[in-house]
Amino acid sequence: MLSCLELVIFCGGVRACGGSALLPLPIDILSLEEKYQIIKLLQSKGANIQELNTVRQSMSQLKNGELARIAKSTTIISFILSDVIGDPLEFIASAPTFYSGNKSHQTLEIFKNYNLLDSIPTQFIQNLKEHENQNDKQMLFSTKQIHNIIVGSNRIALEAAAHLCKQSNICIPFIMTTCLQGEAREIGRHLIELITTEPSELIYTNDIACFFTDKSTFERYQVFVKENKRYCLLLGGETTVVLKDNPGKGGRCQELALSAALTIDNQNKNISVLLLAAGTDGIDGPTDAAGAFAFTGMITDQNDIQRARNALDKHDAYTYLNETNNGENLFKIGHTNTNVMDIILVLVDRKE
């Protein structure tokens, strides 16, 4: 049995801001503010969580296994809440108890891909170049027993939601994917197009593939939709938003929902759709909403349609949603103190 001196318990990916943000200790050449600004800059360019956490690892004295390395305990157990697509240990909470090699080269490549080399502090770029070919530290972990255990994930959340759906006897659930990625507004548009297209007319293209775990899931979906008239589609993952200059107020889930609402054909009386896109942490972007709803008949007036389109173009979804229908199309639940990425629920009722 382990004594308290032999056991370190760390929870990754917790709370609304995630384990990466809750465990900051920048390398000596960077201030906490510089670290924050680098991540903020990458986010504005649409960098995904894998890219963000790779860069975080290069900027930290605790991430990429460093917490485990400096811990005096020889046995370390890490209970992990996954907020990263696919649950890869090297990226969850930027991996304080899991080492996956030197990230200097990868970080430089990320900066190059987003044309940010001139926007990053010079001393950090120089540090990355100096350590680009540094030997791995794997041998430093050989004397320790490290156990990384995932206790919560998007998959677990979706399975729980599907279970509640079954218990309600209202509609039949179908989990499409836990790996949803892409530009939020495009995902919202393509998802509605997918749902409202006859299953026999669907072709497994790149635009459709992102909504399914694999091709076999897509094929099961085609059969499922043919056999059921009322059902609930469940998707999980994390979309991104590439911000334009002077963005308004909103978040990726609100953009996805607003784009979906604009795509719904309100003249189609054969199908009714109710969509909820929300972050499991309870907060979507710099707002007090977890996400938003989209449904048949939500936006019908031509003036409203134009206002919604303008809001979407300006990344100002929150303002539009807050000013229409008394703000009831926003989904507000407050901080949940956990984070397993985003969840999209779509209730579909086919009349024919």
User: Which stretch of DSSP H or E encloses residue 34?
Assistant: helix 32-44
| 137-154 pLDDT tens trace | 665 666 788 899 999 999
Q: Which two tokens stand for residue 188?
A: 């919202």
Query: Among residues 256, 298, 281, which one has the least CA distance to residue 333?
Result: 281
Determine the pLDDT at residue 2.
46
The ranges of the chain with pLDDT < 50 are 1-5, 15-16
Q: Are 125 and 248 in contact (CB under 8 A)?
A: no
Determine the pLDDT at residue 74.
85
Determine the pLDDT at residue 228.
94
User: What's at 331, amino acid-wise?
Assistant: F
Whole-angstrom CA distances from 31 to 24, 58, 167 are: 10, 13, 51
Determine the pLDDT at residue 139.
57
Q: Where are the beta strands (DSSP E) in the chain?
A: 7-12, 75-81, 145-152, 172-180, 230-237, 271-279, 291-295, 330-331, 342-350
Residue 160, C-beta contacts closer than 8 angstroms, at least 6 positions apart: none
Determine the pLDDT at residue 20.
81
| 302-324 pLDDT tens trace | 999 999 999 999 999 999 999 99
Determine the pLDDT at residue 11.
58
Q: From CA 13, how far away is CA 21, in angstroms rounded?
A: 9
HSE at residue 252, side-chain half, CA atoms within 13 A, is: 25
Determine the pLDDT at residue 175.
98
User: Mean of the per-residue pLDDT values for the chain?
Assistant: 91
Query: Long-range CB contacts (< 8 A, 24+ apart) of 308-312?
Result: 308/258, 308/261, 308/262, 309/262, 311/248, 311/250, 311/258, 312/185, 312/255, 312/258, 312/259, 312/262
Determine the pLDDT at residue 307.
97
Determine the pLDDT at residue 158.
97
The owner of tokens 């020889």 is 74
